[in-house]
Structure 1
Amino acid sequence: MDLIAEFLLRVLGQFQSPSLAFLIGGMLIAAMGSRLTIPDAVYQFAVFMLLMRIGLNGGMTIRESDPADMILPALAAMGIGVGIVLLGLITLARLPKIARADAIATAGLFGAVSASTLGAAMVALEADGIAYEAWVPALYPFMDIPALILAIVLAGMGKAKSDGNTVTPWFIVKDSLRGSALSALLLGLLLGLLTRPERVFETFYDPLFRGLLSVLMLVMGIEAWQRLSELRRVAHWYAVYAFIAPITHGLIAFGVGYLLHQATGFSPGGVVLLALLAASSSDISGPPTLRAGIPEANPSAYIGASTSVGTPIAIGVCIPLFIALAEVVFTLP
């Protein structure tokens, strides 16, 4: 009982995180009918800064570390992304009143990765003094791209396109790599790996990171509340899936991360970040990619499920949950 009480206290303590406060604040003012809006240009700049900071930091660390350390975690991330899509295919797609294309698109979005959740998780870990390998955020594309590819391939299998064209895996790879999210992340990784950006990182990207993340969380909170109306138009199974999936996917990835910890010494913070990558659902690159790759799917289903339920659960529940779980499992101070 003492262990359970300690665990619950640690979960509640995580809700004092500034990132969660801005997310909840955004939802509250939207619920009150506030007309506050954040210009799209500001939002896009915040996303760019977030991903460039993550990429630069990861690239600089990879340059100073052994790339062999990433092999097993990268393979694990790929397997988790693919597994999430397949899990959605055998669960959500078989529920009543659920269109197969909508279910696969939803699973694909939940198999992909949210940059905002990743950023919030990194801030939470740093605030708690939980160390992680700086290259762990670079696992983002290893989970993101395979999940999107598999979702589009599954949706397209056996379905004739009205225009006679089919979407190939190579098309979605190219389209994902050209997307704003992965482009910024990969650019940061390459610059951090091949150049010496330490001065600009320390004086520009790193100091602005937390402030811009708070803006991003505020926008996500406002949009989450607004998307609830879209979710009401489709089957309620999507809300159930979006509530359960982040926790389930995160627990699976936490288990995989624990095995990596035992086998390779993967850090507790790395285990938490891997779990939160899996718990997140794409809010930037995924929606436009799936709109193009699975045009027959209903965006109200997969985007509504992700934005209105999945992302708040990932940030508001999964971040404190998995940090608290790591503190107990790894006996962190």
Structure 2
Amino acid sequence: MDSILSLAAQNLISPIILFFVLGFAAAFARSDLSVPEAVAKGMSLYLLFAIGFKGGASVAAHGIDQTLIFSILAGVILSFVLPFIAFALLRVMTGLTAIDAAAVAAHYGSISIVTFVAASSVLQTAGLMSEGYMVAVAAAMEAPAILAALWLVARADAKAGQGGGMDAGLLREILLNGSIVLLIGSFIIGGITGQEGLDKIASFIVSPFQGVLCLFLLDMGLVAGRGLRDARHLLKPGLFAFGVLMPLIGSCLGLGAGLLLGLSTGGVMLMMTLSASASYIAVPAAMRVALPEANPSIYLTMSLGITFPFNLTLGIPIYLALARAATGG
């Protein structure tokens, strides 16, 4: 327990967390501080590009092996299964409709790439290494959760006698989501060009990375604070409880998967973080197309206003402490 509290204290005074807190506090204080939408979009593209490229270069140095393939497969399975657990919990703990519950559940099967980056930063500070191909696992975990949520809605519609299903156009929209394309594409390019390619653009994607991440989290804090402030009347105690309980359940499943795969301590911790995080980029975009009747004030505020801050402040230290205890690292 002391180690978790110590890690949490260290995490809370890191620049990336403090910039998130600044944005969150500014939003609640109704400050006019804002990040232009075009700038926020540019930072998001930069982070996805940098993360994917560095991950691809790491895989090129590591080589493709059985553990990499099984890790990606485990990520896909977790991403597809977690929404079913989330949906069942939401239906028991809250009064959400099937459509709203499915939309929220999709976010908790997919991943938050910024939470992944924050966890990677904590590992670096702790002097722990992780498998470079975990970025590939993150990319693989984006889409299956969306498909699981749509299946849940289709099943609910079928039970209600309303038909339901998903067409090829919708599937294409999901798989060609911009964030997924950029993350996977830059990962492939990084894998093709390897360390030599990374060295050529290191001054662009390595040195400025932490600074851009701080500004991005400032914007995330503003968005989360405004969402929580404006939608607090929609968020009942059951939803708040779910927003903390679900990442803990996901992290336990990620812990089991990481141990079965034989990942390093850092790799286990990242698998836990991916399983515990909630998407706020790819999935909301998909839900606007796939489930336009779902309430975005609920699913965005849940993922960005409750689970994201929890993971940044307490979740990541908990996952690292559990990974160390389980692996002896």
**Residue of structure 1 equivalent to 2:286:** 289
Aligned-partner Cα distance in 1 for 2:235–2:119: 30
User: Are 1:312 and 2:309 counterparts?
Assistant: yes
Percent of residue pairs identical: 27
Return 317-326 or 6-15, whichever deviates more: 6-15
Deviating 4+ runs (over 3 angstroms): 163-166, 170-173, 327-332
User: Are 1:268 and 2:269 counterparts?
Assistant: no
**Residue of structure 2 equivalent to 1:167:** 166
**Residue of structure 1 equivalent to 2:116:** 118
Judged with a 3 Å threshold, the aligned counterparts in structure 2 of structure 1 residues 7 and 199 are, in CA distance, closer, same or farther, namely closer
> Can you give the 5+ residue segments of structure 1 that lack an aligned partner in the other structure?
none
Q: Which secondary structure state, in structure 1, belongs to the residue aligned with residue 293 of structure 2?
A: coil
**Residue of structure 2 equivalent to 1:179:** 177
Aligned counterpart for 1:300 among listed residues 297, 300, 306:
297
Amino acid aligned to 2:111? V
Aligned-partner Cα distance in 2 for 1:297–1:67: 41
User: Are 1:20 and 2:21 counterparts?
Assistant: no
Judged with a 3 Å threshold, the aligned counterparts in structure 2 of structure 1 residues 233 and 122 are, in CA distance, closer, same or farther, namely same
Does the CA-based 8 Å contact 1:93-1:104 persist in structure 2?
A: no
Aligned-partner Cα distance in 1 for 2:92–2:322: 32
Judged with a 3 Å threshold, the aligned counterparts in structure 2 of structure 1 residues 326 and 96 are, in CA distance, closer, same or farther, namely closer
**Residue of structure 1 equivalent to 2:80:** 82
Aligned-partner Cα distance in 2 for 1:305–1:280: 11
Q: Which secondary structure state, in structure 2, belongs to the residue aligned with residue 113 of structure 1?
A: coil
1:190-214 CA distance string (max 9 Å, x none): 2112235223331211112111110
RMSD: 2.2
Does the CA-based 8 Å contact 1:231-1:239 persist in structure 2?
A: no
State the 1:58 CA deviation: 1.5
TM-score by length of 1: 0.90
User: Are 1:223 and 2:189 counterparts?
Assistant: no
Q: Which secondary structure state, in structure 2, belongs to the residue aligned with residue 157 of structure 1?
A: helix
State the 1:21 CA deviation: 1.4
User: Are 1:206 and 2:203 counterparts?
Assistant: no
**Residue of structure 1 equivalent to 2:39:** 42
1:22-62 CA distance string (max 9 Å, x none): 11121122222211101111111111111111111111222
Q: Which secondary structure state, in structure 2, belongs to the residue aligned with residue 275 of structure 1?
A: helix
Equivalent residues, number: 323
**Residue of structure 1 equivalent to 2:258:** 257
Does the CA-based 8 Å contact 2:273-2:316 persist in structure 1?
A: yes
1:291-323 CA distance string (max 9 Å, x none): 211222111221121111111112222112212
Q: Which secondary structure state, in structure 1, belongs to the residue aligned with residue 111 of structure 2?
A: coil
User: Are 1:72 and 2:73 counterparts?
Assistant: no
